[in-house]
Structure 1
Amino acid sequence: MLTAFPPPELPGTLTVAVPGLLEHRADDSLALASVGKLLLLAEVARGLTGGTLEADEPVALLDEDYCAGSGLLAKLSARQWTVSDLARLTAAVSDNTATNALLRRVGLDRVNKGAAELGLTQTRILDFIREPRLPEHPPTFAVGTARELAALTQQIAGPAAWARLMLGWMAACTDRTMVAAAIPHDPEDDSVPKVPLDRLWVANKTGTDIGMRCDVGVVRGRREVCYAVLGNCTPGREFELLQAMRTIGARIAAFIG
């Protein structure tokens, strides 16, 4: 097991599940920010490999899909993209507009039903992405636990066709500022290698919002580690939360070697 956690100066709530290595408040339910998009991506990947969705199906962007915050589509001129395009944008740059278009196409109920089929009982999407989020809206985009998300990531690291597709999407994630920041790896390596490796490799999905920093991923080297680290804190103390998350990344890197 890894050494004791958390550090005494932790600026909020940090829940951690690294199966076989580290666990801290792993069953506490927290707001997930964009890590909740993993549930949508899992259902899209299952649909693409199961024949209920087509990768090249065109999806027209509607006015209500557009959302500020992370992503590129809100600033691009094209108004039609494929299901596969939208999934890649959601995974790689956490595109809020792409997320809303996919969520509208697939359906919120279907996404949460699919999550339940994968064993997630407390982790779910509550609403579309909204900027700003008003009092009449659900209080946050998604909620969940580190234990359930780590278990989901173990499935994503497995041999199923949908999992291999999704792991490839996550390998293209451009945000390696949280747990992965302390793991020496090539952030542009979006291949999906097998274990063991003579290097370290990361595929992940992060979530960023005011008072929230979350990171869920797979690390491969001489062995494989899956992790889920979810943090909520007082607005303005997010960088301190990041520092605590990076200590976990350093410990994972040391364990894998």
Structure 2
Amino acid sequence: MRSSDSQDPVGEVVGAGAAESAQAQPHEPSGIHRPTHRWGFGAFLFVEGVLLATAAFVGVFIGEATPETIPVRDVLIGTMAPTMLAALSALAITKVRGNGPLADLCLAWRWDDVKVGLKFGALGLVCTVVGVLVWTQVVGEDNATSAIGALVEDKPMSVSAAVTMFVYLWLLGPICEEIIYRGLLWGAAERLGWGSERWGRFAAFVLSTAVFAVSHLEPLRTSLLIVIAIPIGLARLVTGRLLGSIVAHQMNNFLPALAILLTALGVLAT
């Protein structure tokens, strides 16, 4: 028998390794070390190029049509195709150059993340409502319409087309955008380190928020989009995973998507 104060070399090594692992990933609630991926900003630039190239191709396909004359089918394609193809490209990159989307983009189902996302989504709704009111006063009501809002304005849709647009704007679009900006771009920024892990996460939050706002290519709405994006980014920052920001983004998009649905069906007057 060994005395109670005797040393256990194996236990000391295991304990030290566990302590080092816990210190290595303090932002991971599960304490699990995430494997390092091999992609960075080049991957994000490629995906952003896919988005812009697809949007340009759709623009050429539509031709010189005005928002009033664009067919509903083309409105749906132009709204959905660029972001969806870009998101699929991002997922493919994580498979080819990394460890897959679950590991590289921090995609995991956790009810705690859903709850955090709902809280920041509620905060985002308040920020959005206040931001829209202030922004409308600054730019005027005539300039306060989003690009998608301008496309569906005075354009009656069938129920199936309107519901498709609603589901995309509310649920699918936020998933795609979060994969691109707070998944791929966030991971590229974190990979640089920026001096420390904490500053790396903060830099990823700031960069993804700014790029998300600018990438919508609506200069007049950029400041408003930054206000909208901050609570969404905070959900990603707090949880350390993508699900929280997806839920926050979806919650934030619900009312605008519902307004576009009712407008497209002719329930709300433009």
More helix by share: 2
The structure, 1 or 2, with the larger RCO (C-alpha pairs under 8 Å, 6+ apart) is 2
TM-score by length of 2: 0.22
Structure-1-length-normalised TM-score: 0.23
Looking at secondary structure, tell me which structure has more strand per residue: 1
